[in-house]
Chains A and B, each alone.
Chain A
Amino acid sequence: MSRVFISRDSTALSLGAEKVAATLQQLSDTKGLKIEIVRNGSRGLFWLEPLIEVETDQGRVAYGPVQAEDVASLLETGLLEGKQHPLYLGNIEELPYFKNQNRLTFARVGLTDPVNIDDYIAHDGYRGLKNALALQPADIVKHVTDSGLRGRGGAAFPTGIKWNTVLNAPAEQKYIVCNADEGDSGTFSDRMIMEGDPFVLIEGMTIAGLAVGATQGYIYLRVEYPHAKVALNQAIAAAYKNGYLGENIQGSGKTFHLEVRSGAGAYICGEETSLLESLEGKRGLVRFKPPLPAIVGLFGKPTVVNNVISLASIPVILDKGGEYYKNYGMGRSRGTLPLQLAGNIKHPGLFEAAFGMTLREILYAYGGGSASGRPIRAVQVGGPLGAYLHEGQFDTPLDYEAFAAISAVLGHGGIVVHDDSVNMADMARYAMEFCVEESCGKCTPCRIGSTRGVEVIDRIVDGTQKDKNTVLLRDLCDTMMYGSLCAMGGMTPYPVLSSLNHFPEDFGLPAAKA
């Protein structure tokens, strides 16, 4: 019996992985070859998907990118024995793109069967929970505080401090809410975790529950991720069945229940208070803060709201200790960040690295430059509300503070590359238009400001009172930035102003001085 791995990750599926798996099964049956196809997550080297990995005497051997019509010739030349073929890649873990990563959170993604709990445990799964069950809540929180882990949202708030607030908030019911509403364009690390290693998120949330005294958790998942929902529900069912969720977890007397809830296509529900409103069954209108969700959260109770990657980073911290995690990174940005390379890039994919690498290294040494072969002109980091960076800024290290110093954000680690065919006035207009589309409407600067913003950019591009309208656009951005209730209106000026400042010629304005 040969074990063969073909991904069930959405991106692999979007390139034909299902057909590859079906063809391989069919041809093997015809030839009387005994195979077991494991539908794993993706290694994240997306230009090589659909990828086939085969377990052989020499370890795992990869082939890619494979289309259904390649399968016959692969079998012919000895796929199951790991023999040579034009699509032969060898051990994928030895390719520089993979080898030079620090895979802490993504350690198992692409390696294991995502919904097989035995496979998860065999690859160090649930070790963090085991340790957590032997600790007092305050000690669990201390490990997280010591790790230096910061939330992967725009604010990069220290996770340990948030947990400590919930721990110390007295209440008969508390909640853990996972913000799986990863709506930022260019980001897909949450989706990859949920499809490729859902147990790590479940374990992280269970530990969070133990740490703060919460017995119920919700994963608020984007409706755009149907495959993630299937994987999460399969994994949750397995965790319940094996005593890792529910009452009396592993005989400890502790309880934690977990449920997946679907969002409904509103970007704003990625904002934590809007997300809570949505979970309560309302329109996703942003709440005023304070009170913080840590004190008055879901259904009015103290609630930890964390992103997927923050929660999925918890098991390794509780397994190996806060200090271990802290040893990765630079400055006040500790641990690793799963970067997502997307847009016009030759080697798109997921790259988990310690903080501190430069954008240039990622774009050229690993990303291989643009997909079109034209020069890279603008790079948006941190989602649709992140700033556009120009060539002169590519040496900035990936660090929260270094990015803040150039009026940019790291956010979720999404990197979207544009070549020199991009028109940056169009991108600035799109940013305002996106805000019109997705604003919850509660505060005026965001709701009205974005609509006026589109009009003002149109007038600048038209050449109508260019100078006057440019001043007006800056003024409007200022109002949105400082007057909006949340980051939707508050950060829309980032892509707009960075486009205007770095690429004024696209607006028909004099070029910026180098």
Chain B
Amino acid sequence: MQDYQSQKPIVLDILDAHRTMPGNLLPILHGIQDTLGYIPSAAVEDIARSLNLSKAEVHGVISFYHYFRTTPPGKHTIRICRAESCQAMNGKALESHAKQTLGIDFHETSSDEHFSLEPVYCLGNCACSPSITIDDEVHGRVTPEKFDQLLAACKGAK
């Protein structure tokens, strides 16, 4: 776990950049997660003070949204769509395959810290189900074999 003291200046900069924006809490949280990969629990106090909110309010917002995370992700984040269209095209088999191959369940990170696995409900790629994303890249018509190839490509690129 990284020391928050080294992250604090980044958080304060992001807070400062959004000071006058109406409804700024979500943009601030996105800014922090985009930069650090997650929202450190220790940042909650700084965010709360800056926005004149209670820590509970800030924590309540972070925990409400599926996208925000409070622990560092693996090097790559894989999101597998669990929605109906992907289910209609063997998405469940792909889910099991991914969990087994990575040796982790949803919301977990592999022991080598290479991959985090998250469920997602629709990537808007329903015409080519089943779909996954690896970081920001969408992949369609993903079979277990194609999943293994994509994983190997990620590892090759480390």
Residues of A within 8 A of B140 (CB): 11, 14-15
Residues of B within 8 A of A340 (CB): 126-127
Within 8 A of A (CB), among B128-157: 128-129, 131, 133, 136-141
- Select which of B24, B51, B121 is within 8 A of A183 by beta carbon: B121
CB of A305 within 8 A of chain B? no
The interface centre, meaning the residue of A14, A191, A384, A434 with most chain B CB atoms within 10 A of its CB, is A14
Q: Which residue of B lies closest to A386 (CB)?
A: B84
Q: List 9 A-B contacts (CB under 8 A).
A: A10-B125, A11-B125, A183-B121, A223-B67, A261-B27, A265-B68, A281-B25, A343-B126, A371-B89
CB of B117 within 8 A of chain A? no
Cβ of A384 and Cβ of B84 under 8 Å apart? yes
- How distant is the Cα of A384 from the Cα of B83 in the complex, in angstroms? 8
Cβ of A11 and Cβ of B128 under 8 Å apart? yes
- How distant is the Cα of A416 from the Cα of B60 in the complex, in angstroms? 34
CB of B11 within 8 A of chain A? no
Cβ of A264 and Cβ of B127 under 8 Å apart? no
Grouping DSSP codes into helix (H, G, I), strand (E, B) and loop, the A interface class, with mixed when no group exceeds half, is mixed
Cβ of B121 and Cβ of A341 under 8 Å apart? no
- Select which of B25, B68, B87, B120 is within 8 A of A224 by beta carbon: B120
Cβ of B128 and Cβ of A266 under 8 Å apart? no
Residues of B within 8 A of A380 (CB): 84
Q: Which residues of A contact B (CB under 8 A)?
A: 10-11, 13-15, 46, 182-188, 190-191, 222-227, 261-267, 278-284, 299, 340-344, 348-350, 371, 380, 384, 414, 416-419, 422, 427, 430, 434, 437-438, 440
The interface centre, meaning the residue of B68, B121, B123, B127 with most chain A CB atoms within 10 A of its CB, is B127
CB of B103 within 8 A of chain A? no
Cβ of B30 and Cβ of A185 under 8 Å apart? no
- Select which of B24, B126, B141 is within 8 A of A186 by beta carbon: B126
Q: Which residue of A lies closest to B27 (CB)?
A: A261
Number of A-B residue pairs with CB-CB distance less than 8 Å in the complex they form: 149
Cβ of A422 and Cβ of B88 under 8 Å apart? yes
Q: How far is the CB of B27 from chain A (nearest CB, A)?
A: 7
Which interface class (under 10, 10 to 19, 20 to 34, 35 or more) fits B?
35 or more
Q: How far is the CB of A212 from chain B (nearest CB, A)?
A: 19
Cβ of B123 and Cβ of A342 under 8 Å apart? no
Residues of B within 8 A of A13 (CB): 137-138
- How distant is the Cα of A437 from the Cα of B121 in the complex, in angstroms? 10
Q: Which residue of B lies closest to A185 (CB)?
A: B83
Q: How far is the CB of A63 from chain B (nearest CB, A)?
A: 19
Residues of A within 8 A of B42 (CB): none
Q: How far is the CB of B157 from chain A (nearest CB, A)?
A: 15
The interface centre, meaning the residue of B24, B126, B141 with most chain A CB atoms within 10 A of its CB, is B126
Residues of B within 8 A of A223 (CB): 30, 67
Known A14-B128, A281-B25, A430-B87: A264·B66 in contact at CB below 8 Å: yes
Q: How far is the CB of B46 from chain A (nearest CB, A)?
A: 16
- How distant is the Cα of A263 from the Cα of B61 in the complex, in angstroms? 12
- How distant is the Cα of A37 from the Cα of B29 in the complex, in angstroms? 37
Q: How far is the CB of B66 from chain A (nearest CB, A)?
A: 4
Q: Which residue of A lies closest to B133 (CB)?
A: A224
Residues of A within 8 A of B25 (CB): 281-282
Q: Which residue of B lies closest to A417 (CB)?
A: B88
Cβ of A264 and Cβ of B129 under 8 Å apart? no
Within 8 A of A (CB), among B44-84: 51, 60-61, 64-68, 81, 83-84
